[in-house]
A and B are shown apart, each in its own frame.
Chain A
Amino acid sequence: MSPKIKDTLFRIFAIFCTTLGLATLLILLVDITIKGITRVNWSFFTNLPSRLPEQSGIYTALAGMVSLLLFTLLIALPIGILSGIYLEEYGKKNRLANFIEINISNLAGVPSVIYGILGLELFVRLAGLGNSILAGALTLSLLIMPILIVSTREAIKAVPNSLREAAFGMGATKWQTTSRVVLPAAFGGILTGIILSTSRALGETAPLIVVGALAYVPFIPEGPMDQYTTLPIQIFNWTSRPQQGFVINAAAGIIVLLLFTFILNGIAIYLRNRWYKKTAI
């Protein structure tokens, strides 16, 4: 076979693979949209859950999701980002550091339901938090912590060492160098990590089912100790109902959830591009 034919064949194969992936996604999107778009209207956002599909809404699910995310970020961001800064900028690069790095990467790959079981034992039972938002937020924090740490480290690693040398050469201390040079230069990357981990937390269902997010919550959570439900759980619940109306509701819920994820990822990509343009040397 001539190299030229090989080249063409490979190109066709690559295009086929790409199309296959995209087409599957597209079919899913079209199917969901056709099924659910009619239900996406204002009352869908403001209605409480109901046993009648046409009167059901995602009001409590959205409120639960937003408060859950808020508490998750409140817990996970400081710990995750500061850990990343410490490991990359301050910690010694020795065998222990390598061991920690491998383990953090491994944690990022642990199935989320495992975190749910850990959260159930640790937060729900041992700490006695019950089916509260706080227990859910703590569990989700564990889940997104590895992503936050890894992305913070990557962002800091991408800051050229010549900038640190310049600052040290001027007599800047370690903290001045980190806070005034390294972190501003890494900010875009860290922010991207924050948004990506937020969108990961947004779509999680399995660990929340384990730690007791409820399927039917007719009220808005008012504090961290209240019970809650979230959009993915509401969708999961609707898909298991026999009535056709709830399937439509589920599709509509998926559209809303996808929209959220799209927006968050879009912001992440925008920030990443802007940041690279600003700091590329």
Chain B
Amino acid sequence: MVQENSNIILESFGTYKLRAKDLNLFYGQKQALKNISINIEANTVTAFIGPSGCGKSTFLRCFNRMNDLIEGVTIKGEVMIDDVDVYKNMVDVYEYRKKIGMVFQKPNPFPKSIYENVAFGLRINGESNKSVLDEAVEGSLRKSALWEEVKDNLHKSALALSGGQQQRLCIARAIAVKPSVLLMDEPASALDPISTAKIEELIYDLKDLFTIVIVTHNMQQAARVSDKTAFFYMGELIEFDNTDKIFTNPAKDATQNYITGRFG
């Protein structure tokens, strides 16, 4: 299913964190992604925009192979992180996913304490040393700007937090295992404007530590937080360029029509 192509490695200059090459994805017979190729640099924020059903979330989930969980999905082409094809057979998908954190549309903390949520990733790696766990929990909560709000209640249920706090907890949980990539699937769409602003600030701060890819329906958000923007339409990558350029002077008419609100 996956084609060997040694040229790809020669082509890369080692600066791209994530790459896709001629990626096609099918749900049964229906093609959801068509010939997508993209190069994403390390330590940048890339926004995926486009109307509902355009394939942007599906594409995002190719990077950590979450589409594997859906029955009937076929993937052709290459997806690479640090120039290693993630769909090759020798890749251990579980080890691989640990390098890539994911934050979902709806906050999905586990029905456990705040502490255990953040420690989850370390625990499944077999870490049980309390001081290591304590340190990771505090560090991650600080990075996700939640520490000050929860430091006295670490052993309370995560479900008692507000939606915005839960989402920041999910970010803390994702970064606790020190991934190099952070995938965010509409992370603020279920949140109020204040919580959204906090998440956006956080994305800006986390850029130094991670390569971030964010799917969003909110074009102002894409313009605010991202360095590069990719516009998807009907399963195709229409345009991928610097965010400034996409929003001020896009090359394609479809992009122009979408960002000015003529459809979608």
> Would you call B97 an interface residue if the criterion is a C-beta within 8 Å of the partner chain's C-beta atoms?
yes
CA gap between A278 and B109 in the complex, in Å: 12
Contact A170 B97 (CB under 8 A): yes
B122 CB to closest chain A CB (Å) equals 10
B75 CB to closest chain A CB (Å) equals 17
Closest to A279 in B: B111
> Would you call A256 an interface residue if the criterion is a C-beta within 8 Å of the partner chain's C-beta atoms?
no
Contact B104 A170 (CB under 8 A): no
Chain B residues with Cβ under 8 A from A163's Cβ? Answer: 108, 110-111
> Would you call B187 an interface residue if the criterion is a C-beta within 8 Å of the partner chain's C-beta atoms?
no
Within 8 A of A (CB), among B93-118: 94-98, 100-102, 104, 106, 108-112
CA gap between A281 and B162 in the complex, in Å: 11
B18 CB to closest chain A CB (Å) equals 16
B58 CB to closest chain A CB (Å) equals 14
CA gap between A92 and B72 in the complex, in Å: 12
> Residue A165 contacts which of B108, B109, B124 (CB distance < 8 angstroms)?
B108
Contact A169 B174 (CB under 8 A): yes
Indicate the member of A170, A172, A176 with the most B CB atoms within 10 Å. A170
> Residue A169 contacts which of B71, B102, B106, B112 (CB distance < 8 angstroms)?
B102
Closest to B93 in A: A171
Query: Which candidate, A178-186, A208-216, A226-234, A244-252, is the interface stretch facing chain B?
Result: A178-186
CA gap between A77 and B69 in the complex, in Å: 29
> Residue A172 contacts which of B71, B94, B104 (CB distance < 8 angstroms)?
B94
Chain B residues with Cβ under 8 A from A165's Cβ? Answer: 66, 69, 102, 104, 108
Chain A contact residue count (CB 8 A cutoff): 24
Closest to A170 in B: B121
Assuming the contacts A165-B69, A176-B124, A279-B111, asked whether A170 and B174 have C-beta atoms less than 8 A apart, the reply is: yes
> Would you call A24 an interface residue if the criterion is a C-beta within 8 Å of the partner chain's C-beta atoms?
no
Assuming the contacts A165-B66, A280-B159, A281-B159, asked whether A170 and B120 have C-beta atoms less than 8 A apart, the reply is: yes
Contact B104 A166 (CB under 8 A): yes
Which size class do B's interface residues fall under?
20 to 34
CA gap between A38 and B214 in the complex, in Å: 73
> Would you call B212 an interface residue if the criterion is a C-beta within 8 Å of the partner chain's C-beta atoms?
no
CA gap between A184 and B110 in the complex, in Å: 10
Assuming the contacts A172-B124, A180-B120, A280-B159, asked whether A166 and B170 have C-beta atoms less than 8 A apart, the reply is: yes
Chain B residues with Cβ under 8 A from A162's Cβ? Answer: 104, 106, 108
Contact A185 B69 (CB under 8 A): no
> Would you call B19 an interface residue if the criterion is a C-beta within 8 Å of the partner chain's C-beta atoms?
no
Main secondary structure, interface of A, reads helix
Chain B residues with Cβ under 8 A from A180's Cβ? Answer: 120, 123-124
Chain B residues with Cβ under 8 A from A55's Cβ? Answer: none
CA gap between A184 and B97 in the complex, in Å: 23
A188 CB to closest chain B CB (Å) equals 10
Contact B124 A168 (CB under 8 A): no
B98 CB to closest chain A CB (Å) equals 4
Contact A160 B177 (CB under 8 A): no
CA gap between A169 and B175 in the complex, in Å: 12
Contact A169 B66 (CB under 8 A): yes
B88 CB to closest chain A CB (Å) equals 17
Q: Flag A182-211 by CB within 8 Å of B: 1 or 0 each.
A: 001100000000000000000000000000
Assuming the contacts A184-B111, A280-B159, asked whether A170 and B98 have C-beta atoms less than 8 A apart, the reply is: yes
Counting from the closest, the 3 A-B pairs by CB-CB distance are A171-B98, A162-B108, A169-B102
* Subset of 30 A-B contacts with CB under 8 Å: A160-B108, A162-B106, A164-B69, A166-B108, A166-B170, A168-B66, A169-B64, A169-B101, A169-B102, A169-B104, A170-B97, A170-B101, A170-B121, A170-B173, A170-B174, A171-B94, A171-B95, A171-B96, A171-B121, A171-B177, A172-B94, A172-B120, A176-B124, A181-B110, A185-B111, A278-B159, A280-B159, A281-B108, A281-B111, A281-B159
16 more CB-based (< 8 A) A-B contacts, given A162-B104, A170-B124, A171-B177: A93-B71, A162-B106, A163-B111, A165-B69, A166-B173, A167-B120, A169-B97, A169-B174, A170-B177, A171-B94, A172-B94, A173-B124, A184-B111, A185-B111, A281-B108, A281-B111
Binding site for B on A (CB under 8 A): 92-93, 160, 162-173, 176, 180-181, 184-185, 278-281
Binding site for A on B (CB under 8 A): 64, 66, 69, 71, 94-98, 100-102, 104, 106, 108-112, 120-121, 123-124, 157, 159, 170, 173-174, 177
